[in-house]
Chains A and B, each alone.
Chain A
Amino acid sequence: MIPPEAKPALAPKARLRFDRTSGGYLLLYPERGLALNATAANILKLCDGELTVDGIVEKLQGEYLDRSAEELRRDVLEFLEEMSRRGLVRVLE
């Protein structure tokens, strides 16, 4: 479980890249790549190892007015946990 005060960062092997062809973002890592939807890309762009999960949620709030902070935090945590299971996001305490 990732605590809300944790500071997520992209794993050293992962890099975000804007993709002209699709107009979206790709997350690239050795021999692989993930095509991200807009929300996933917005979350990962904020994973700089400085912002906490709560900080990320706060920043996203402005763009996702239809979701409560609680819902948004749940979505962000769920996504970050999946990414950390895949070794693509590291959580700094």
Chain B
Amino acid sequence: MSSAPRPYTLVAELTYACPLHCVYCSNPVDFTRHEDALDAADWRRVLREAERLGVVQVNFTGGEPLLRPDLEALVEEARSLDLYSNLITSGIPLARERLERLRRLGLDNVQVSIQDARPDESDRIAGREAFHRKIEVARWVKELGFPLTVNTVLHRENLERIGEVIALAEELHADRLELANAQYLGWALRNRTALLPTKAQLERARSVAAAARARLEGRMEVVFVVPDYYVEFPPACMDGWGRRFIVVSPDGLLLPCLLAHTLPGLSFGNVRERSVEELWSSSPGLAAFRGEAWMPEPCRSCARRAIDFGGCRCQAFHLTGNAAATDPACSLSPDHGLVEAARTEAARPARELVTFSFRTPRTSRDHSR
């Protein structure tokens, strides 16, 4: 083994298929290019190999992981490896019996996404009717004794209703509420004009979340994630490239983050051909941005480089065309003007009519051309 750091979490993206069409979906915009190529035996091996490397948690996600009929076998394998398993789901399509089965097989936590506290607004963002079903699923989760995480992605249209979202999560007895502002990559970058909030909106929401966190301490964990566009320095994306997280895409690529395969010129090996151990320690794509050797100025001589690792590589590429640039979200980046321009645009006074590009296989194919 080389000196690769110890990974703690495996993000198992079982499929990019999803019944919803969220306008900020974190899947790559060209997701239709990546077929589901791993069968249950492959995934079980991935779980075993990841655990041997030090992984203690697995997130079963997608797309919609419930679309995999073999999810049960994977949950069972995770349990036998004593991995903490988390199902990250839209709640659709889920039958109560299936949830019960997953509980028996040892699934630890269920995270249900709820797009908004109000049915019409929620369904508008999801691109289909889903809200009432999600609420029902969230109730089953608690009735069956699971811990429940509610995840709501925040943006220009729903930030004002953050109080309602918190009230809904309380009513559902959520154990954890993630109020995660959209990050402007992938589909959210396509829809940035429609989604990016103003600074004032964000400040108000942040203080509502802070008050809720204090009030609900010990009962419901409240997490508020700001969008990178409104920070002075970027956060440590994925805790650093190839440091703590292993992401495996539906087609078997072993990645450091959800969108690394959208960066040109990087080669990530496939778990169908090589073991997780081997890829983690020697994939050229992981090596490319591990450590500090790749860093340009101002990161190279910045004291924060060991804290944020120069920010998000995908954001750097998708905004500047250069994956090895300082994250433009950083106020010290020479490209920070790109982010400032987006903030200025977001501050436009009147509510204009905006159009969304929904995440669908068809729009994906259009974007892939």
Contact = CB atoms under 8 A, between A and B. Distances in A.
Interface of A: 11-13, 15, 17-19, 21, 26, 28-31, 33, 84-87
24 contacts: A12-B145, A12-B146, A12-B147, A12-B175, A13-B147, A15-B108, A18-B82, A19-B56, A21-B6, A21-B54, A28-B57, A28-B108, A29-B147, A30-B86, A30-B111, A30-B149, A31-B9, A31-B57, A31-B86, A33-B8, A86-B218, A86-B221, A87-B217, A87-B219
B57 A87 contact: no
Interface in B143-195: 145-147, 149, 175-176
Contact of B221 (A15, A26, A28, A87): A87
Interface in B173-230: 175-176, 217-221
Contacts of A84: 218
A13 B218 CA distance: 12
Given A15-B108, A21-B6, A33 B56 contact: yes
B208 to A, nearest CB: 20
Interface of B: 6, 8-9, 54, 56-57, 82, 84, 86, 108-109, 111, 145-147, 149, 175-176, 217-221
B147 A30 contact: yes
Nearest to A81: B218
A5 B149 CA distance: 31
Given A21-B6, A87-B175, A87-B221, A15 B54 contact: no
A66 B172 CA distance: 47
A18 B81 CA distance: 11
B176 A30 contact: yes
Given A28-B56, A28-B57, A30-B147, A13 B175 contact: yes
A26 B54 CA distance: 12
Contacts of B146: 12
Given A31-B86, A87-B221, 16 more contacts: A11-B175, A12-B147, A13-B109, A13-B176, A17-B82, A28-B56, A28-B84, A29-B84, A29-B109, A30-B86, A30-B111, A31-B57, A85-B217, A86-B218, A87-B175, A87-B220
A26 B56 contact: yes
A48 B186 CA distance: 45
B175 A17 contact: no
Nearest to B220: A87
Contacts of B175: 11-13, 30, 87
Contacts of A15: 84, 108
Which residue, of A15, A21, A86, has the highest number of chain B Cβ atoms within 10 A? A15
Contacts of B109: 13, 29-30
Contacts of B54: 21
A85 B214 CA distance: 10
A45 to B, nearest CB: 15
A18 B54 CA distance: 11
A4 to B, nearest CB: 19
A34 to B, nearest CB: 11
Contacts of A28: 56-57, 84, 108
A48 B84 CA distance: 19
Contacts of B108: 13, 15, 28
Contacts of B111: 30
A88 to B, nearest CB: 9
Contacts of A85: 217-218
Nearest to A13: B147
Nearest to B217: A85
B218 A87 contact: yes
B181 to A, nearest CB: 16
B7 to A, nearest CB: 11
A92 B175 CA distance: 17
Contacts of A11: 147, 175
A86 B108 CA distance: 18
